[in-house]
């Protein structure tokens, strides 16, 4: 299990997301952004917009995705 924060993934806060894979952490970040923006948190709006754009244009987002996977792989186990 490894942990990355919302901020590590391009968001504005330090909420920790843990998972066995980078995809687990990315999916947790996506859910977090959806939840807090829906609740009215404007600070997370730009990160939510970027994440939403990545899901809609996966080929263009491949650089971000590969960077997150690399940084996740370099993290120590929790």
Question: Under the phi-then-psi rule, with left for phi > 0, alpha for psi from -120 to 50, and beta for the rest, what region is 10?
Answer: left
pLDDT digits (tens, 9 = 90+) for 55-73: 788 788 899 999 999 999 9
pTM of the model: 0.91
- What does the pLDDT read at residue 53? 86
The token pair at 48 is 């939510």
- What does the pLDDT read at residue 25? 98
Q: Is 31:25 a contact under the CB 8 Å cutoff?
A: no
Taking the C-alpha atoms of residue 61 and residue 76, their distance in angstroms, rounded to an integer, is 25
pLDDT digits (tens, 9 = 90+) for 11-50: 999 999 999 999 999 999 999 999 999 999 999 999 999 9
Taking the C-alpha atoms of residue 37 and residue 21, their distance in angstroms, rounded to an integer, is 25
Taking the C-alpha atoms of residue 25 and residue 5, their distance in angstroms, rounded to an integer, is 9
């Amino acid at each position: 299990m490894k942990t990355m924060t919302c901020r590590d993934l391009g968001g504005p806060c330090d909420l920790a997301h843990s998972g066995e894979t980078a995809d687990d952490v990315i999916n947790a970040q996506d859910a977090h952004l959806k939840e807090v923006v829906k609740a009215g948190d404007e600070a997370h709006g730009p990160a939510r917009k970027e994440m939403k754009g990545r899901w809609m244009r996966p080929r263009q987002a491949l650089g971000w995705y590969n960077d997150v996977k690399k940084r996740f792989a370099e993290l120590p186990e929790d």
